[in-house]
Structure 1
Amino acid sequence: MSSGQGVADTGLMVAAIRAKESRRDDRLFTDPFAEKLAGESGHRLLEEAIATAGDKTTLQIVVRTRFWDEALLRVVAAVDQVVILAAGMDARAYRLPWPDGTTVYELDQPAVIAAKAEALAGEQPRCRRVAIGIDLAEDWPAALQAAGFDPQHPAVWLIEGLLQYLDESAVRTLFETIDTVSAPESVLLYDVVGKTLLDNVMLTAVREHMARNSAPWLFGTDEPGELSGRLGWSAVVTDVAEPGNRWNRWFAPAVPLDVPNVPRGYFVEAAKGA
């Protein structure tokens, strides 16, 4: 499940997108760390991506950031351990108003964790932050537990902007692994590219650009709730276009979820029952 340099580079690009949004008067969030985390290379990657494939995918990342910010803060009112898988250049440990006693575990490849530590040297997180350098192909649950994570205690998991880079078997393995170390009342937050969108001509330029940058998009599904639902989690699915339109950051109207063959992305909030 190694995601390699291409996916590490996308983390820099996503930070550049967050930095750009943070400069807007009508910004959906403020990320004062994004500029440092993106660096020159992040801004260069973003310029290349927009020149090649337009800015529609950047809107998805802006909406996604705000959506998961709100979801995380809602859930941590009752859960005090958070795990961000493939955290990349995510700055939530530093910028969100976490409740006292919250621990945020960030997992990513050792080189990414090291680069982030360098970029944010001297900055103080607003929670107990535990950074773990490990590839998701390795035994990351053991590393997580060795760092203090308690699998007997509910957790909130965030898988943001990752699943499209994995093949289907790796996606399913990841969900099964999370399930095995999740206590009842845990919450799993994840976003998925719809299969109709993945195969749509409007995404061709994006897919070609990502493949050229060693980060090909491999996975999409229009049954995103099934990924956690088959493991017994109850899933609430939101079309990205719904909050996207609500926040004036979208390019097409939201279509009801029961209408088939619509190219869309999904946000899923799944809860593990008692």
Structure 2
Amino acid sequence: MIPGKPSRTAWSAAMHRAAHQIVDRASVFDDPMAVPMTGWSRRRIEQDVARHPERRGMRFFIASRHQFARDVVRRAAERAGDPVQVVVLGAGLDTTAYRGGPESDDVVRVFEVDHPATGAWKREHLTREGIFPTLPVAYVGVDFETQSVHAALQSAGLDPARPVVVVWLGVLVYLTRPAIEATVSELSGLATAPVDLVFDYPEPTEDLSGRVAQVRAARASRVAALGEPWLSSYTPEEMRCLLADRGFAAVEDLATADWIERYFGVRRPAAGAGAHLLHAVTGAARRSGSGPGRRTRAGSN
């Protein structure tokens, strides 16, 4: 990470979300703030997409994981009968607190948790671009490898009596396993009310087919060259056990073929990028039901 700059991967994810609005006409994830958040013009984004057609798959994955998170927030609010708190871990240029619209009715407050350098850059960027929150938002600086997420959120005013949805997208792969496991343990105790957790994770490269493994390895090399190497991956069974040992039960674990079918209406049994979208919830909410669409899937390629 370069001082005074955002994470390079956080910036890349923001650009994919913006490009999805323009090039794909927001076919999966509609986000009116995605383009303004980048500070780039629509024309400049279109030109960037034209130069990099190989990014299309990643763009669709990022759009899908954000819609998946939005669906979880909506169902959690329906289950609670009240707006929920949303914690965005590794917030980057996430737009949850700035989008407005009907989905704001599901959220009472947003907590943006990120490395202090990225959080500081984002606040300066928002001021420069004239972007203001449409929801109450707290900015919480945390180094996941060395600091307690639970303690930081308590200090920032998280209400343990109100349901919480934790959105943790595009982050696990960059953390060590001990940091991931410690963070999940802390998240399960964030509130006496239900805690929903939504995140993505990759399967080990060695478990993937030849061509997919080659693409994955090439992508890992590119981000490592940016100073943000991939550090962790899990099999679905390993992830299920990690969650269960720390008080969470998996509600949905969508493998690549599953989320392609859900968000694109196409069933591709051979799809094997090894990218999972997972929703888990603490025990009390699981016992009371998680709303429409509840199911548990191990997922497979």
For Structure 1 versus Structure 2, the TM-score category normalised by the shorter chain is: 0.7 to 0.9
**1:83 CA drift (Å):** 0.8
1:68-123 deviations in Å (ceiling 9; x for gaps): 12222221332521111111100011115222761111111222222222332343
**TM-score, reference length from structure 1:** 0.83
Name the % identity: 27
Matched, 1:87 2:103: no
Counterpart of 2:140 (choices 132, 155, 166) is: 132
Q: 2:62 matched to which residue of 1?
A: 61
Question: Which stretch of the first structure deviates more once superposed, 131-140 or 157-166?
Answer: 131-140
Aligned to 2:232: 219
Unaligned ranges ≥5, structure 2 = 285-301
**Corresponding residue for 2:293?**
none
Residues 260-271 of structure 1 aligned to structure 2 (within 5 Å):
263-271=273-281
Alignment partner for residue 263 of structure 2, among 223, 229, 247? 247
Q: How far apart in 1 are the matches of 2:34 and 2:26? A: 17
Out of 188, 191, 212, the residue aligned to residue 179 of structure 1 is 188
Bigger relative CO (Cα 8 Å, ≥ 6 apart): 1
Q: Distance in 2 between matches of 1:150 and 1:26?
A: 34
Sort the Cα spacing of 1:245 and 1:50 in 2 relative to 1 into closer, same or farther, 3 A: farther
TM-score normalised by length of structure 2: 0.76
Give the Å deviation of 1:26: 5.5
Residues 171/100 of structure 1: CA separation in 2 closer, same or farther (3 Å cut):
closer
Deviates more, 1:84-93 or 1:105-114: 105-114
Output the CA distance in 2 between the equivalents of 1:217 and 1:174.
Answer: 17
Aligned residues between the structures: 262
1:34 maps to which residue? Answer: 34
Superposition CA RMSD, Å: 3.0
In the other structure, the counterpart of 1:109 is 115
Q: Separation in 1 of the partners of 2:262 and 2:270?
A: 13
- The unaligned stretches of length 5 or more in structure 1 are 257-261
Contact 2:149/2:186, CA 8 A, preserved across alignment:
no
Say whether residues 1:25 and 2:28 are aligned partners.
no
Query: How do 1:160-239 and structure 2 match up within 5 A?
Result: 160-195=169-204, 196-197=207-208, 200-223=213-236, 224-236=239-251, 237-239=253-255
2:158 to 143, 149, 154: 149
Match of 2:282 in 1: 272
Counterpart Cα distance in 1 of 2:183 and 2:262: 32
Instruction: Give CA-to-partner distance per residue, 1:189-218, whole Å, 9 cap, x none.
Output: 111111234992231110110111111111
Give distance in 1, aligned partners of 2:77 and 2:250: 18
Show the counterpart of 1:259: none
Paired residue for 1:8?
A: 7
CA distance in 1, matches of 2:233, 2:52: 22
Q: Secondary structure at the match of 1:81?
A: strand
Letter in 2 for 1:179: S
